[in-house]
Amino acid sequence: MALSYEFSIGSVRAKETSLLKKSDIEQMINLRNEDELIRFLKDKNFGDGKDTDEIISDNTKKMWDFIHSVSPDTDIFEPFYLQNDIHNLKTVLKGILSDTDYRSLILSPWTIDPVVMRKAVENNRFDSLPEWLVEPAEKAYRLLTRTGDARLSDAVIDNAALTKMLDAGNTSRSQFLGDYFRLYVFYANVKTAIRAARIRSSQNYLETALCECDGFDKETVIKKALSSKDTLLKYLSSISAYGCKEAMEHFEKDPCEFERFVENKLIALAKKECRISCKGPEALFGYYLGCQAQCQAVHIIASGIVTQTSPDKIRERLRETYG
């Protein structure tokens, strides 16, 4: 019998009850060492493994096994896989051109088989890649082989992926995907512009790295970034779209607070549009992002415990969760 979204929504709603709750997060923050954290996570059936990294990896595998078992169409997740695809392409390019072993750095799931990427790079023929990536991959390859400019090469690939994410969101029948990727790409641009202004990157880099998107005046941002970081920040503070003005207030206090603000906005969007959805794939998207958020929380807590960071400091670093 073919799966339906009605079935997947019911399955997801039942599964969501197993996501870590705020009370679970608070308990973990106050644990004394990684052994206690491992025992806690295993008691919660979060995952299995000899350390927290293995447990997180096992949790992610179980998440995908569940999603694949209840989703009528797993291709709907391809826009999220793009982040792994671009990481893998950059890794394969640099690994092959520097003759270093890159295989342990490959991320999954992907939409493009890394073996296909390897053959494309080795043969300097990229037409086996998806159409949207052929020209950017060729350009990135040329930059690495002729100029050695890895940063500009990465920017070419990143821009192509962000453009593809926007296109996937805008052409999807899911309102949430469009909203999510517009927000995601907007702040990806903001982060890139701030970093570029800080190290006084060239106009060519900014034009290559920044992606056209709603609410983001690329030409003006480039002009402000080339002037100075302070000029750029002042301009970004005048933008109301996507809560940018508030985001810049957080940045002025602490760049880490800015990162936290952005990630909280993304998970808040998922809570708003996916937690109450009663049709379509939104419930599945929300569950996926909820699992990602809880894995990030476990990683932050584990790092804090290992480095003997105070519970209050760990709390400051944590993002909102979906549970």
The answer to whether residues 83 and 56 belong to one domain is no
127-185: per-residue pLDDT in tens? Answer: 999 999 999 999 999 999 999 999 999 999 999 999 999 999 999 989 999 999 999 99
**If pLDDT is split at 50, 70 and 90, which confidence band does 273 have?**
very high
The answer to whether residues 107 and 171 belong to one domain is yes
The answer to whether residues 299 and 260 belong to one domain is no
Domain of residue 299, CATH code: 1.10.132.50
Given a cut of 60, whether residue 107 has pLDDT beyond it is yes
Residue 12: domain span: 1-73+281-323
The answer to whether residues 146 and 46 belong to one domain is no
- pLDDT given at position 27: 96
The answer to whether residues 5 and 135 belong to one domain is no
Given a cut of 90, whether residue 295 has pLDDT beyond it is yes
**If pLDDT is split at 50, 70 and 90, which confidence band does 13 have?**
very high
The answer to whether residues 178 and 152 belong to one domain is yes
The answer to whether residues 132 and 236 belong to one domain is yes
The pairs formed by 278-282 with CB atoms below 8 angstroms and a separation of 24 or more are: 278/9, 279/5, 279/6, 279/9, 280/5, 280/173, 280/174, 281/5, 281/8, 281/71, 281/73, 281/76, 281/174, 282/174, 282/176
- pLDDT given at position 323: 74
- pLDDT given at position 268: 96
Q: What pTM, to 2 d.p., does this model score? A: 0.93
The answer to whether residues 160 and 235 belong to one domain is yes
The answer to whether residues 258 and 114 belong to one domain is yes
Q: How many domains does the chain have?
A: 2
206-249: per-residue pLDDT in tens? Answer: 999 999 999 999 999 999 999 999 999 999 999 999 999 999 99
| Burial class of 303 by CB neighbour count within 10 A (0 to 12, 13 to 18, 19+) | middle
Write down which residue in 262, 277, 292 finishes a domain.
Answer: 277
The answer to whether residues 133 and 119 belong to one domain is yes
**Region 104-130 average pLDDT:** 95
**Region 74-101 average pLDDT:** 94
40-51: per-residue pLDDT in tens? Answer: 999 999 999 999
The answer to whether residues 93 and 195 belong to one domain is yes
| Burial class of 147 by CB neighbour count within 10 A (0 to 12, 13 to 18, 19+) | exposed
The answer to whether residues 273 and 285 belong to one domain is no
Mean pLDDT of the chain: 95
